[in-house]
Amino acid sequence: MEDDYDYDFHYAGKPMMPMASLDLNGNVVYLGTLTKSLAPAIRLGFIVAPVEFIRAATHFRKYIDSHGDSILENAIADMFKDGTIVRHIKKSVKLYKERRDHFCSLLTSALGKHVSFKIPEGGMLVWVTFLKKNLPLVSEKALAKGLVMGNGTDYDTKRKKYNAVGMGFASLNFKEQEKAVHILKEILE
């Protein structure tokens, strides 16, 4: 299964083609969603898979919801046909790139000696490694100051503690990003 929720959100060049594009034998089930590109409340997605898989998935889906939301589904289909979705995604990519660049600039200028990261070519988060401070403790202190962030332990393995976390930038405007980084700076210094 390939869950390609952020295919459209690439800021430098073209996105990497999905595994499904190389699948000649029908082994990859490709999943996508409109939640990230339109709105979290729009709970529509799609599957590209062999016909038998689609039939089986449809059969089981009917146990959960036999009707769906045909008005929303038809409205979205019309938006694809008339190009509205494509135009919206282009605007979103521009906005998220600006937010990514601003967030990475803040990380560099305010936290550069405390964290390391690579500017992502796509997606909606920056993978940030905390160099000196224990991330679970930083996360706990951040929460006490009103900043909710992961503590990074979900990414650790038995062999390695990464002390790193994905920090989302897409849903934060510039002021919110500045506030978040300010809180982290206070904690790290």
Instruction: DSSP letter for 147, please.
Output: -
- 102 and 76 in a single domain? The answer is no
pLDDT attached to residue 41: 84
Location of structure tokens 């529509």 = 44
Instruction: Tell the burial category of 158 from Cβ atoms under 10 Å away from its Cβ (0-12, 13-18, 19+).
Output: exposed
Q: Which two tokens stand for residue 176?
A: 């919110």
On whether residue 12 sits in a domain, the answer given is yes
- 77 and 101 in a single domain? The answer is no
AA letter at 96: Y
9: how many CB neighbours lie within 10 A of its CB?
Answer: 21
- 65 and 112 in a single domain? The answer is no
68 CB-near residues (< 8 Å, 6+ apart): none
C-alpha dihedral sign at 114, 131, 188, 145? positive
Q: How far apart are CA 112 and CA 57, in angstroms?
A: 47
pLDDT tens, N- to C-terminus, the chain (189 residues): 988 777 788 888 777 788 888 888 888 999 988 888 888 888 888 889 999 999 999 898 888 877 778 899 899 999 999 999 999 999 999 999 999 999 999 999 999 999 999 999 999 999 999 999 999 999 999 999 999 999 999 999 999 999 999 999 999 999 999 999 999 999 999
Own/partner long-range contacts of 72-77 (Cβ < 8 Å, ≥24 apart): 72/42, 72/44, 73/44, 76/34, 76/38, 76/42, 76/44
Contact 135, 164 (CB under 8 A): yes
Q: Which residues pair with 164 in a beta bridge?
A: 129
Work out how many domains the chain is built from and give that number: 2
pLDDT attached to residue 189: 92
- 113 and 154 in a single domain? The answer is yes
pLDDT attached to residue 61: 85
Q: Which two tokens stand for residue 17?
A: 């083609």
Location of structure tokens 């594009």 = 21
Range(s) of the domain holding residue 161:
95-188
pLDDT attached to residue 166: 97
On whether residue 90 sits in a domain, the answer given is no
Own/partner long-range contacts of 107-111 (Cβ < 8 Å, ≥24 apart): 107/181, 110/181, 110/182, 110/184, 110/185, 111/181, 111/184, 111/185, 111/188
Q: Are strands 45-48 and 115-117 parallel, antiparallel or unpaired?
A: unpaired
The structure's pTM equals: 0.82
On whether residue 6 sits in a domain, the answer given is yes
